[in-house]
Structure formats: C-alpha cells, structure tokens
Amino acid sequence: MPKRIAIIAHDGKKAELVEWARRERERLARHHLVATATTGRTLQEALGLEVACVRSGPQGGDAQIAAMVVEGRIDAVIFLVDPLYAHPHEPDIRTVMRLCNVHNVPLATNLATASMVLRGLEEG
C-alpha cells in the first residue's frame, strides 16, 4: 500500500538527495511524494518522479508539511537539513521535527536514516 512521504532538502543537501533518490527511485515511485517547491521540482526534473509540491521552505512550505503531519496526511518525513548553514526559517524547521515527534511520524534527517525509513514503510 502506498505511503505518503514528505521530502524537504535544504539547498546544500539537494545534490545528495538526488543521488540517494536515484538509488531508491524504484521504492520512491511506489509512494505518494510531497515536497517543498524547489526540492520537488529537483526530483521531478532529475528523476521524473511524480511529486506534489507545496511552497518553498522559506515561504511556508515547511509549515504546510507540518500541518499535513498534524492532519494525519503524511506517513513519514525525510528532512535533509544543512547543519552548516543558518536558516532564516529555523522555527519552521523545528516545528516540523517537533510535530513528527508529537504525532509519532518517522523523521529522517540524514540519508542513512532515510533509507531505513523507506524500507520500514514497505515492511509495515
């Protein structure tokens, strides 16, 4: 059964995300993907994946995904945060992470964990 996976990647992590998504393309294609605008377009262009896009992170996309988590419309979140860069929308980033914990939604913040979450969704 397809799951709903939200994907967010800061600019410094998009290239890594694309390489990971190439390896995991078959698995990702079996699920419903939602992403912030630039991340979603990047995945669509690089891999031809179908991705529903919300706004970009700084324009409220992180908050939109957080709301979807609260509403039970997301089964897992892959959120590749660039830890070496200060983000002006840091409160939204923390909100997504906090709400994943509050609502028991798996949250991957690095690619090793993202692969484990993706495999776990298929087994569950």
Catalytic residue positions? 62
Angstrom distance (rounded) from CA 64 to CA 74: 11
Residue 107 three-state SS: strand
Angle, alpha carbons 62-28-119 (nearest 5°): 100
Find how far residue 94's CA is from the centre of its chain.
14
Backbone φ, ψ for residue 74 (5° rounding): -130, 130
